[in-house]
């Protein structure tokens, strides 16, 4: 007598129970299904296929479906290859049950040697026993050894007409390029969270299980695009909640924190409430929430706020309407620099928690670092203040009271006043206040020009005029050029002397010699003698320039060989023989490069003496001034 209990079908997990039996059951792989369908319809099938993708997206299931499509004979036994196998004929049933003699599956993770491949190479010569094609499915093919791949190459390149190879791998980069070039490759896509949530809703309905949409969305997000992982989590959730899947149970099962708690913790971080942050961490840790999951939830909030601010919210949100509204409001208040800084700080903290021997303590210190970073000065406000201070050396407009309140504590009224040389405060007709400094610099037209290397450097140097006299500008009040204080007689005398030297000026301008040493250097650059020009810029300390005579201060780098090259270059340039002297007795002016370095040094010292910069260095002792 047969025991009645033996006739009961044993339980199968959802991942095996709902394994796709038709191509229509595959989700998220429409491009591959369309390509295979066209290839079968036109009889343009490749002899080898390579299926790649992350875990649980259907690589092995797709390989079996391809084997079914190639060997299906239909219910009447007269059918041919089809993209929609019947599933009822003997080949389809045998392949689904894994017992077909002509469909050989091999796990390359446990059969990595060349001997296993030799068995396949020897067996491909024989025709199939009962099927249309002999199909070899090699899973995790990247685990094969180098010798095994080499043994397979020739057979893979020219297999018999009755043989098809189907490879599956999660790490396609480890497969040799010689194997990839012999296969038709299909990249199985990661399944989106929205599509997974719809699929899990369908599975829950078939299993007669009541499941909340938020709970299924949490499972879909935790699956990370893997159908098998998602079905395993759903199977566990059904068992955990006794037939009714709710969001709270799923969070408890996955070790996820409640959304309201994460929002409260995030708000405490932004407000700089360190004690409240520590209380939240301790409470969640006591409930079984791992510190890593807590910081991961904060990272997800920063990411969601940034996407919302960009106008691209999450396609499938697991958040309630209230939380979505909260994220939108937060995106309007926080700037992109703040969000980026939060992301970097939290990401660094997440990495520290993953590698720390004390995860809880590491999480607390990481979040306290975020708390203190929220009280640091805004770099944009500091940069704007530095720009104003650097450009307006004669007239400085202090920020209004509203602006001072919006700036960080480092930029306070007291700090702005330290070191300032204020003597008088004026109020214009429109109510604008200006502060005049005691040490007012000279006007642009009164400044003496300094030696520079090129016109570009002259334009960028602080010695150049800050403003141009432009009477046609409509952006501001018309500024007239400065008037001369010379009497008319001196002007007439100056004009007369200019007329007397007119012929001499013409001769100089028309001569073949550059007008000054700087022009000579620039001419050398433009005539293909850039190396000589560079040496003159760096080491040429001018004593006398009286063409065709050039006297420079002697320098160890100005060798005899350079002396000869310079004379030859000047002769080729002007057609005249020059007298070039490197004098050891006389001292020349600084070279152009030395002048530039001295000017930059003076600018840096002036910048370091500014009160706001001194305050920054007091707060950040390890800070550096970068050009």
Cβ atoms within 10 Å, residue 204: 21
Q: Which residue has the tokens 């008088």?
A: 424
Q: Which of the two residues, 1 and 244, has the higher pLDDT score? A: 244
Give pLDDT, residue 319: 62
Task: Identify the CA nearest to 266 among candidates 338, 160, 170, 197.
Answer: 338
pLDDT digits (tens, 9 = 90+) for 73-106: 988 888 889 999 988 899 999 999 889 999 999 9
Decide if 322 is inside a domain. Answer: yes
Q: Quote the strand ranges of 373-438, DSSP E.
A: 395-396, 422-427, 433-437
Q: Are 441 and 394 in contact (CB under 8 A)?
A: yes
CATH number at residue 320: 1.20.272.10
CATH number at residue 245: 1.10.8.60
Strand, helix or coil at 438? coil
Identify whether residues 133 and 144 lie together within a single domain. yes
Identify whether residues 292 and 349 lie together within a single domain. yes
Question: What's the rounded Cα separation, in Å, for the pair 369 and 42?
Answer: 63
Question: What's the rounded Cα separation, in Å, for the pair 168 and 51?
Answer: 5
Cβ atoms within 10 Å, residue 77: 9
Give pLDDT, residue 596: 86
End position of a domain, from candidates 213, 232, 253: 253
Decide if 201 is inside a domain. Answer: yes
Question: What's the rounded Cα separation, in Å, for the pair 125 and 122?
Answer: 6
The count of structural domains within the chain is: 5
Give pLDDT, residue 512: 66
Decide if 537 is inside a domain. Answer: yes
Q: Are 254 and 288 in contact (CB under 8 A)?
A: no
The model's confidence at residue 400, banded by pLDDT at 50, 70 and 90, is very low
Identify whether residues 32 and 43 lie together within a single domain. yes
Identify whether residues 267 and 245 lie together within a single domain. no
Classify residue 224 by burial, with Cβ atoms within 10 Å: 0-12, 13-18, 19+: middle
Cα distances (angstroms) measured from residue 225 to each of 142, 254, 613: 22, 16, 50
Identify whether residues 571 and 429 lie together within a single domain. no
Decide if 298 is inside a domain. Answer: yes
Give pLDDT, residue 469: 33
Strand, helix or coil at 244? strand
Q: Are 46 and 184 in contact (CB under 8 A)?
A: yes
pLDDT digits (tens, 9 = 90+) for 31-43: 999 999 999 989 8
What is the DSSP secondary structure assignment for residue 142, as one 8-state letter?
Answer: G
Using the predicted structure, report yes or no on whether residue 473 has a pLDDT greater than 50: no
Question: What's the rounded Cα separation, in Å, for the pair 179 and 582?
Answer: 70
End position of a domain, from candidates 343, 373, 403: 373
End-to-end CA distance of the chain: 93
Give pLDDT, residue 386: 73
Cα distances (angstroms) measured from residue 161 to each of 65, 79, 82, 92, 269: 20, 19, 18, 21, 66
Question: What's the rounded Cα separation, in Å, for the pair 468 and 215?
Answer: 67
Q: Is the overall model pTM greater than 0.75, yes or no? A: no
Using the predicted structure, report yes or no on whether residue 424 has a pLDDT greater than 60: no
Identify whether residues 401 and 367 lie together within a single domain. no
Identify whether residues 533 and 424 lie together within a single domain. no
Decide if 33 is inside a domain. Answer: yes
Q: Are 35 and 62 in contact (CB under 8 A)?
A: no
Starting at the earlier edge strand, list the strands of the sheet with 395-396: 395-396, 433-437, 422-427
Decide if 600 is inside a domain. Answer: no
Mean pLDDT, residues 360-375 taken together: 89
Mean pLDDT, residues 230-241 taken together: 90
End position of a domain, from candidates 437, 466, 481: 437
Q: What is the mean pLDDT of the chain?
A: 78
CATH number at residue 141: 3.40.50.300
Decide if 294 is inside a domain. Answer: yes
The model's confidence at residue 556, banded by pLDDT at 50, 70 and 90, is confident
Using the predicted structure, report yes or no on whether residue 451 has a pLDDT greater than 80: no
Identify whether residues 177 and 267 lie together within a single domain. no
Identify whether residues 28 and 167 lie together within a single domain. yes
Q: Identify the bridge partners of residue 48 per DSSP, sorted by sequence position.
A: 165
Q: Which of the two residues, 593 and 47, has the higher pLDDT score? A: 47
Q: Which domain holds residue 197?
A: 193-253
Cα distances (angstroms) measured from residue 176 to each of 143, 171, 379: 11, 11, 50
**Helix (H) or strand (E) run with residue 45 in it:** none
Task: Identify the CA nearest to 192 among candidates 224, 229, 232, 233.
Answer: 224
Identify whether residues 309 and 390 lie together within a single domain. no
Question: What's the rounded Cα separation, in Å, for the pair 2 and 293?
Answer: 52
Decide if 470 is inside a domain. Answer: no
Identify whether residues 72 and 179 lie together within a single domain. yes
Using the predicted structure, report yes or no on whether residue 192 has a pLDDT greater than 80: yes
Q: Which of the two residues, 258 and 552, has the higher pLDDT score? A: 552
Identify whether residues 33 and 172 lie together within a single domain. yes
Give pLDDT, residue 317: 54
């Amino acid at each position: 007598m047969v025991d009645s209990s033996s006739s009961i079908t044993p339980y199968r997990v959802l991942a095996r129970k709902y394994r796709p039996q038709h191509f229509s059951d595959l989700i998220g792989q429409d491009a591959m299904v369309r390509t295979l369908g066209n290839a079968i319809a036109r009889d343009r099938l490749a002899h080898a296929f390579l299926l790649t993708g992350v875990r649980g997206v259907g690589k092995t299931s797709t390989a079996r479906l391809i084997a079914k499509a190639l060997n299906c004979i239909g219910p009447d036994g007269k059918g041919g290859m089809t993209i929609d196998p019947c599933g009822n004929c003997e080949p389809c049933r045998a392949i689904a049950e894994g017992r077909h003699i002509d469909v050989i599956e091999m796990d390359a993770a446990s059969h990595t040697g060349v001997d296993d491949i030799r068995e396949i190479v020897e067996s491909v010569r024989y025709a199939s026993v009962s099927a249309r094609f002999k199909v070899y499915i090699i899973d995790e093919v990247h685990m094969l050894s180098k010798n095994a791949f080499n043994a397979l190459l020739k057979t893979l390149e020219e297999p018999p007409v009755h043989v098809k190879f189907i490879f599956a791998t999660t790490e396609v980069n480890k497969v040799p390029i010689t194997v990839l070039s012999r296969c038709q490759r299909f990249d199985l896509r990661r399944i989106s969270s929205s599509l997974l949530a719809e699929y899990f809703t369908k599975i829950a309905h078939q299993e007669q299980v009541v499941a909340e949409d938020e709970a299924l969305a949490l499972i879909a997000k935790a699956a990370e695009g893997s159908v098998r992982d998602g079905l395993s989590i759903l199977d566990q959730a059904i068992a955990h909640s006794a037939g009714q899947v709710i969001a709270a149970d799923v969070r408890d099962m996955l070790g996820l924190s409640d959304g309201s708690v994460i929002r409260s913790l995030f708000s405490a971080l932004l407000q700089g409430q360190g004690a409240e942050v520590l209380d939240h961490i301790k409470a969640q840790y006591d409930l079984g929430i791992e510190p890593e999951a807590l910081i991961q939830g904060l990272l997800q909030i920063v990411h969601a706020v940034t996407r919302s601010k960009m106008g691209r919210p999450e396609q499938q949100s697991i958040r309630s309407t209230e939380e979505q509204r909260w994220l939108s409001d937060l995106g309007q208040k926080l700037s992109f620099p703040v969000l980026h800084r939060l992301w970097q700080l939290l990401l660094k903290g997440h990495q520290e928690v993953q590698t720390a021997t004390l995860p809880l303590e590491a999480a607390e210190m990481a979040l306290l670092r975020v708390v203190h970073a929220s009280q640091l000065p805004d770099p944009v406000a500091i940069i704007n203040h530095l720009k104003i201070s650097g450009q307006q050396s004669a007239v400085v407009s202090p920020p209004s009271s509203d602006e001072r309140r919006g700036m960080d504590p480092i930029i306070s009224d007291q700090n702005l006043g330290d070191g300032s040389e204020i003597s008088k405060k004026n109020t214009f007709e429109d109510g604008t206040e200006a502060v005049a400094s005691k040490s007012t610099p000279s006007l642009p037209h009164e400044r003496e020009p300094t030696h520079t290397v090129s016109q570009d450097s002259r334009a960028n140097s602080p010695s150049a005029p800050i403003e141009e006299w432009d009477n046609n500008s409509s952006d501001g009040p018309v500024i007239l050029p400065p008037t001369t204080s010379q009497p008319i007689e001196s002007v007439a005398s100056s004009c007369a002397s200019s007329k007397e030297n007119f012929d001499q000026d013409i001769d100089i301008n028309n001569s073949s010699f550059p007008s000054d040493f700087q022009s000579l250097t620039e001419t050398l650059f433009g005539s293909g003698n850039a190396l000589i020009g560079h040496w003159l810029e760096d080491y040429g300390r001018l004593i006398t320039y009286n063409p065709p005579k050039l006297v420079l201060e002697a320098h160890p780098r100005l060798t005899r060989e350079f002396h000869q090259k310079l004379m030859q270059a000047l002769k080729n340039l002007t057609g005249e023989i020059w007298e070039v002297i490197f004098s050891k007795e006389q001292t020349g002016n600084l070279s152009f490069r030395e002048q530039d370095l001295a000017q930059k040094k003076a600018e840096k010292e002036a910048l370091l003496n500014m009160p706001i910069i001194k305050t920054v260095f007091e707060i950040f002792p390890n800070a550096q001034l970068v050009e």
